[in-house]
Amino acid sequence: MKKVFLCLLIISIITGFSLAGCKAETASEVIDEEAVEEPVEETVVEEEVIEEGEEVVEEEETAVGTEEETGMETEEEVTEEEGVVVEEVTEEEEIAEEEVVVSDEIAEDAGTVTDIDGNVYHTVTIGTQVWMLENLKVTHYRNGDSIPNVTDGTEWGNLKTGAYCNYNNDPNNASIYGRLYNWYVVIDSRKICPAGWHVPTYKDWKILEEYLGGVPIAGGKIKEAGTVHWKSPNTGATNESGFTALPGGYRRFTGKFYFIGYYGYWWSTRAYDVHNAWYNYLGYIYSNLNRYFYSKTLGFSIRCVKD
Protein backbone atom coordinates (compact mmCIF):
# COMPACT_ATOMS: atom_id res chain seq x y z
CA MET A 1 0.00 0.00 0.00
CA LYS A 2 2.77 2.37 0.91
CA LYS A 3 4.43 1.80 -2.44
CA VAL A 4 1.19 2.48 -4.28
CA PHE A 5 0.67 5.66 -2.26
CA LEU A 6 4.20 6.89 -3.01
CA CYS A 7 3.76 6.23 -6.70
CA LEU A 8 0.50 8.20 -6.77
CA LEU A 9 2.15 11.07 -4.87
CA ILE A 10 5.07 11.24 -7.31
CA ILE A 11 2.70 11.23 -10.32
CA SER A 12 0.62 14.04 -8.76
CA ILE A 13 3.71 16.19 -8.18
CA ILE A 14 4.98 15.65 -11.74
CA THR A 15 1.55 16.49 -13.19
CA GLY A 16 1.33 19.66 -11.07
CA PHE A 17 4.70 20.89 -12.34
CA SER A 18 3.66 20.20 -15.97
CA LEU A 19 0.41 22.16 -15.65
CA ALA A 20 2.20 25.06 -14.01
CA GLY A 21 4.68 25.10 -16.84
CA CYS A 22 1.92 25.14 -19.44
CA LYS A 23 0.14 27.99 -17.68
CA ALA A 24 3.33 29.98 -17.46
CA GLU A 25 4.05 29.39 -21.13
CA THR A 26 0.51 30.40 -22.10
CA ALA A 27 0.70 33.54 -19.99
CA SER A 28 4.06 34.37 -21.52
CA GLU A 29 2.65 33.99 -25.02
CA VAL A 30 -0.27 36.29 -24.20
CA ILE A 31 2.04 38.93 -22.77
CA ASP A 32 4.36 38.65 -25.78
CA GLU A 33 1.44 38.99 -28.20
CA GLU A 34 0.14 42.04 -26.36
CA ALA A 35 3.62 43.52 -26.33
CA VAL A 36 3.88 43.06 -30.10
CA GLU A 37 0.39 44.31 -30.89
CA GLU A 38 0.68 47.53 -28.86
CA PRO A 39 3.55 49.10 -30.82
CA VAL A 40 1.81 48.18 -34.09
CA GLU A 41 -1.33 50.07 -33.02
CA GLU A 42 0.76 53.08 -31.90
CA THR A 43 2.68 53.12 -35.17
CA VAL A 44 -0.53 53.12 -37.21
CA VAL A 45 -1.94 55.98 -35.18
CA GLU A 46 1.28 57.97 -35.53
CA GLU A 47 1.33 57.48 -39.30
CA GLU A 48 -2.27 58.61 -39.56
CA VAL A 49 -1.54 61.75 -37.55
CA ILE A 50 1.47 62.61 -39.71
CA GLU A 51 -0.49 61.98 -42.89
CA GLU A 52 -3.34 64.21 -41.74
CA GLY A 53 -0.85 66.87 -40.67
CA GLU A 54 0.81 66.82 -44.07
CA GLU A 55 -2.56 67.24 -45.77
CA VAL A 56 -3.39 70.25 -43.60
CA VAL A 57 -0.01 71.87 -44.29
CA GLU A 58 -0.38 71.20 -48.00
CA GLU A 59 -3.82 72.80 -48.03
CA GLU A 60 -2.51 75.87 -46.17
CA GLU A 61 0.40 76.22 -48.60
CA THR A 62 -1.99 75.97 -51.54
CA ALA A 63 -4.21 78.67 -50.05
CA VAL A 64 -1.26 80.98 -49.48
CA GLY A 65 0.00 80.30 -52.99
CA THR A 66 -3.38 81.19 -54.41
CA GLU A 67 -3.42 84.49 -52.52
CA GLU A 68 0.10 85.34 -53.69
CA GLU A 69 -0.69 84.49 -57.30
CA THR A 70 -3.91 86.48 -57.39
CA GLY A 71 -2.37 89.23 -55.24
CA MET A 72 -4.12 92.52 -55.74
CA GLU A 73 -6.35 91.05 -58.42
CA THR A 74 -8.51 89.07 -55.98
CA GLU A 75 -9.93 92.36 -54.81
CA GLU A 76 -10.47 93.58 -58.31
CA GLU A 77 -12.72 90.69 -59.38
CA VAL A 78 -12.16 91.47 -63.04
CA THR A 79 -11.97 88.29 -65.08
CA GLU A 80 -9.12 89.59 -67.22
CA GLU A 81 -8.25 87.96 -65.10
CA GLU A 82 -5.22 89.99 -65.18
CA GLY A 83 -3.72 87.75 -67.78
CA VAL A 84 -2.79 88.41 -71.34
CA VAL A 85 -6.00 88.60 -73.33
CA VAL A 86 -5.75 89.46 -76.98
CA GLU A 87 -8.75 89.46 -79.27
CA GLU A 88 -8.24 88.06 -82.71
CA VAL A 89 -9.59 90.64 -85.13
CA THR A 90 -11.04 89.29 -88.33
CA GLU A 91 -10.35 90.86 -91.71
CA GLU A 92 -13.90 92.22 -91.83
CA GLU A 93 -13.50 93.85 -88.43
CA GLU A 94 -10.24 95.43 -89.55
CA ILE A 95 -12.02 96.97 -92.51
CA ALA A 96 -14.92 98.11 -90.33
CA GLU A 97 -12.53 99.62 -87.75
CA GLU A 98 -12.05 103.34 -88.03
CA GLU A 99 -9.04 104.00 -90.21
CA VAL A 100 -6.20 105.90 -88.57
CA VAL A 101 -4.09 107.86 -91.01
CA VAL A 102 -0.89 109.24 -89.52
CA SER A 103 1.71 110.97 -91.65
CA ASP A 104 5.14 109.38 -91.89
CA GLU A 105 6.61 112.89 -91.90
CA ILE A 106 5.65 113.76 -88.31
CA ALA A 107 8.42 115.73 -86.63
CA GLU A 108 10.29 113.80 -83.98
CA ASP A 109 9.93 116.65 -81.50
CA ALA A 110 6.14 117.04 -81.59
CA GLY A 111 6.08 119.60 -78.76
CA THR A 112 2.96 120.26 -76.67
CA VAL A 113 -0.82 120.47 -76.94
CA THR A 114 -3.29 122.40 -74.75
CA ASP A 115 -6.84 121.30 -73.82
CA ILE A 116 -9.95 123.48 -73.40
CA ASP A 117 -9.15 124.03 -69.68
CA GLY A 118 -5.62 125.25 -70.43
CA ASN A 119 -3.85 122.07 -69.31
CA VAL A 120 -0.63 121.61 -71.29
CA TYR A 121 0.47 118.12 -72.34
CA HIS A 122 3.82 117.10 -73.76
CA THR A 123 3.74 114.83 -76.78
CA VAL A 124 5.93 112.08 -78.20
CA THR A 125 6.28 110.47 -81.61
CA ILE A 126 6.26 106.67 -81.56
CA GLY A 127 6.59 105.18 -85.00
CA THR A 128 3.97 106.91 -87.17
CA GLN A 129 1.86 108.04 -84.22
CA VAL A 130 1.98 111.06 -81.94
CA TRP A 131 0.74 110.48 -78.38
CA MET A 132 0.25 112.66 -75.33
CA LEU A 133 2.79 111.94 -72.58
CA GLU A 134 0.27 112.54 -69.79
CA ASN A 135 -3.22 111.26 -68.98
CA LEU A 136 -6.09 113.67 -69.62
CA LYS A 137 -7.11 116.09 -66.85
CA VAL A 138 -9.76 118.04 -68.74
CA THR A 139 -13.15 118.77 -67.14
CA HIS A 140 -14.89 120.17 -70.23
CA TYR A 141 -15.73 118.84 -73.66
CA ARG A 142 -14.07 120.48 -76.65
CA ASN A 143 -17.08 122.81 -77.14
CA GLY A 144 -16.81 124.11 -73.57
CA ASP A 145 -19.64 122.06 -72.00
CA SER A 146 -18.84 120.81 -68.51
CA ILE A 147 -18.23 117.11 -67.85
CA PRO A 148 -19.97 116.25 -64.55
CA ASN A 149 -17.67 115.42 -61.63
CA VAL A 150 -19.53 112.56 -59.92
CA THR A 151 -18.26 111.76 -56.42
CA ASP A 152 -21.17 109.62 -55.17
CA GLY A 153 -20.50 105.92 -55.69
CA THR A 154 -24.08 104.81 -56.33
CA GLU A 155 -24.69 107.62 -58.80
CA TRP A 156 -21.43 106.74 -60.60
CA GLY A 157 -22.49 103.12 -61.11
CA ASN A 158 -25.87 104.07 -62.55
CA LEU A 159 -24.63 106.56 -65.13
CA LYS A 160 -25.33 106.18 -68.84
CA THR A 161 -23.83 109.54 -69.76
CA GLY A 162 -20.34 110.99 -69.56
CA ALA A 163 -18.71 111.79 -66.21
CA TYR A 164 -15.29 112.07 -64.60
CA CYS A 165 -13.82 111.76 -61.10
CA ASN A 166 -10.51 112.05 -59.31
CA TYR A 167 -9.01 108.93 -57.75
CA ASN A 168 -10.43 108.68 -54.20
CA ASN A 169 -12.26 111.93 -55.06
CA ASP A 170 -9.00 113.72 -54.27
CA PRO A 171 -8.15 116.46 -56.82
CA ASN A 172 -4.47 116.24 -55.83
CA ASN A 173 -4.22 112.88 -57.62
CA ALA A 174 -5.14 114.50 -60.94
CA SER A 175 -1.92 116.52 -61.15
CA ILE A 176 0.14 113.33 -61.52
CA TYR A 177 -2.19 110.59 -62.73
CA GLY A 178 -4.83 112.61 -64.58
CA ARG A 179 -8.55 112.04 -64.06
CA LEU A 180 -10.71 108.94 -64.46
CA TYR A 181 -13.57 108.88 -67.00
CA ASN A 182 -16.37 106.47 -67.80
CA TRP A 183 -16.70 105.18 -71.36
CA TYR A 184 -19.66 107.44 -72.17
CA VAL A 185 -17.28 110.41 -72.21
CA VAL A 186 -15.21 108.65 -74.86
CA ILE A 187 -18.05 108.45 -77.39
CA ASP A 188 -19.72 111.78 -76.65
CA SER A 189 -20.12 113.78 -79.86
CA ARG A 190 -18.79 116.90 -78.12
CA LYS A 191 -15.32 115.27 -78.00
CA ILE A 192 -13.02 115.20 -75.01
CA CYS A 193 -9.61 115.51 -76.72
CA PRO A 194 -8.28 118.83 -78.06
CA ALA A 195 -8.91 119.70 -81.72
CA GLY A 196 -6.71 117.58 -83.97
CA TRP A 197 -6.60 114.76 -81.42
CA HIS A 198 -8.85 111.81 -80.54
CA VAL A 199 -9.34 109.04 -78.01
CA PRO A 200 -7.42 105.99 -79.34
CA THR A 201 -9.34 103.42 -81.32
CA TYR A 202 -8.79 99.69 -80.86
CA LYS A 203 -6.59 99.89 -83.97
CA ASP A 204 -4.50 102.78 -82.58
CA TRP A 205 -3.55 100.66 -79.58
CA LYS A 206 -2.84 97.71 -81.86
CA ILE A 207 -0.49 99.83 -84.00
CA LEU A 208 1.38 100.96 -80.87
CA GLU A 209 1.63 97.42 -79.54
CA GLU A 210 2.97 95.99 -82.80
CA TYR A 211 5.47 98.81 -83.33
CA LEU A 212 6.93 98.13 -79.87
CA GLY A 213 7.35 94.41 -80.42
CA GLY A 214 4.04 92.86 -79.39
CA VAL A 215 2.04 92.15 -76.24
CA PRO A 216 4.77 90.52 -74.09
CA ILE A 217 7.24 93.45 -74.19
CA ALA A 218 5.34 96.53 -75.38
CA GLY A 219 4.09 97.32 -71.88
CA GLY A 220 7.60 97.61 -70.48
CA LYS A 221 8.54 99.99 -73.26
CA ILE A 222 5.72 102.41 -72.41
CA LYS A 223 5.79 102.22 -68.59
CA GLU A 224 7.62 104.94 -66.69
CA ALA A 225 10.79 103.33 -65.35
CA GLY A 226 11.58 103.08 -61.64
CA THR A 227 9.32 102.94 -58.60
CA VAL A 228 8.54 106.59 -57.92
CA HIS A 229 4.98 106.09 -59.17
CA TRP A 230 4.89 102.35 -59.93
CA LYS A 231 5.04 99.84 -57.10
CA SER A 232 8.06 97.55 -56.99
CA PRO A 233 9.20 95.58 -58.95
CA ASN A 234 7.71 97.44 -61.96
CA THR A 235 8.77 94.51 -64.12
CA GLY A 236 10.33 95.22 -67.51
CA ALA A 237 9.81 99.00 -67.35
CA THR A 238 12.21 100.92 -69.61
CA ASN A 239 9.97 103.63 -71.10
CA GLU A 240 12.20 103.55 -74.18
CA SER A 241 9.24 104.74 -76.25
CA GLY A 242 8.83 107.90 -74.14
CA PHE A 243 5.11 107.16 -73.59
CA THR A 244 5.60 107.41 -69.77
CA ALA A 245 2.53 105.42 -68.69
CA LEU A 246 1.56 105.87 -65.04
CA PRO A 247 -0.59 103.58 -62.83
CA GLY A 248 -3.64 105.73 -62.19
CA GLY A 249 -5.80 102.83 -60.95
CA TYR A 250 -9.52 102.77 -61.70
CA ARG A 251 -12.98 103.32 -60.30
CA ARG A 252 -15.35 100.39 -60.12
CA PHE A 253 -19.07 100.59 -60.91
CA THR A 254 -19.66 100.33 -57.15
CA GLY A 255 -17.97 103.70 -56.84
CA LYS A 256 -14.90 102.32 -55.04
CA PHE A 257 -11.35 103.01 -56.18
CA TYR A 258 -8.60 100.44 -56.71
CA PHE A 259 -4.94 99.93 -57.62
CA ILE A 260 -3.35 103.35 -57.97
CA GLY A 261 0.37 102.64 -58.17
CA TYR A 262 -0.27 99.03 -59.24
CA TYR A 263 -2.16 99.17 -62.54
CA GLY A 264 -2.97 101.63 -65.29
CA TYR A 265 -6.08 101.38 -67.51
CA TRP A 266 -6.87 103.32 -70.69
CA TRP A 267 -10.06 103.37 -72.73
CA SER A 268 -10.36 102.74 -76.44
CA THR A 269 -13.34 103.91 -78.51
CA ARG A 270 -14.44 100.40 -79.41
CA ALA A 271 -17.48 98.84 -77.73
CA TYR A 272 -17.56 95.12 -77.08
CA ASP A 273 -21.33 94.90 -76.60
CA VAL A 274 -24.13 96.99 -75.12
CA HIS A 275 -22.61 96.88 -71.61
CA ASN A 276 -18.85 96.55 -72.17
CA ALA A 277 -16.03 98.26 -74.03
CA TRP A 278 -12.37 97.54 -74.84
CA TYR A 279 -9.49 99.00 -72.85
CA ASN A 280 -5.73 98.46 -72.50
CA TYR A 281 -3.94 97.97 -69.22
CA LEU A 282 -0.49 97.65 -67.64
CA GLY A 283 0.64 96.10 -64.36
CA TYR A 284 3.53 96.47 -61.95
CA ILE A 285 4.42 92.76 -62.10
CA TYR A 286 4.67 92.20 -65.85
CA SER A 287 5.82 93.90 -69.05
CA ASN A 288 2.75 93.07 -71.14
CA LEU A 289 0.51 95.59 -72.85
CA ASN A 290 -2.80 93.80 -72.39
CA ARG A 291 -6.31 94.47 -73.57
CA TYR A 292 -9.70 93.35 -72.36
CA PHE A 293 -13.32 94.46 -72.23
CA TYR A 294 -15.43 95.36 -69.23
CA SER A 295 -18.23 97.59 -68.00
CA LYS A 296 -18.64 100.98 -69.63
CA THR A 297 -19.36 102.41 -66.17
CA LEU A 298 -15.78 101.89 -64.97
CA GLY A 299 -13.55 104.89 -64.48
CA PHE A 300 -10.32 104.63 -66.54
CA SER A 301 -7.62 107.01 -67.72
CA ILE A 302 -7.57 108.48 -71.24
CA ARG A 303 -4.59 109.21 -73.51
CA CYS A 304 -5.15 111.12 -76.72
CA VAL A 305 -3.44 110.40 -80.02
CA LYS A 306 -3.02 112.84 -82.89
CA ASP A 307 -5.46 112.64 -85.84
Task: Write the pLDDT tens digit of every residue in 275-288.
Answer: 999 999 999 999 99
Of 251, 245, 277, the closest CA to residue 264 belongs to: 245
Q: Identify the residue with better confidence: 102 or 305.
A: 305
Query: Which has the higher per-residue pLDDT, 21 or 255?
Result: 255
The angle that helices 215-222 and 202-211 make with each other, rounded to 10 degrees, is: 90
Q: pLDDT band at residue 116, thresholds of 50, 70 and 90?
A: very high
pLDDT, tens only, 61-109: 333 232 333 333 433 443 333 333 334 333 334 333 444 333 333 334 4
Percentage of the chain modeled with pLDDT above 90: 64
pLDDT tens, position by position, 122-155? 999 999 999 999 999 999 999 999 999 999 999 9
Is 137:119 a contact under the CB 8 Å cutoff? yes
Share of the chain above pLDDT 70, in %: 64
Residue 267 has pLDDT above 70, yes or no: yes
Would you kindly state where each structural domain of the chain is located, as residue ranges? Answer: 1-70, 89-306
pLDDT value of position 110: 58
Identify how many contiguous H helices and E strands the chain contains and give both numbers. 8, 12
Q: Is the distance from CB of 138 to CB of 119 less than 8 angstroms?
A: yes
Q: Against a cut of 0.85, is the pTM above it? A: no
Task: Read off the amino acid at residue 251.
Answer: R
Decide which of 181 and 57 is more confident.
181
Give the pLDDT score at 248: 98
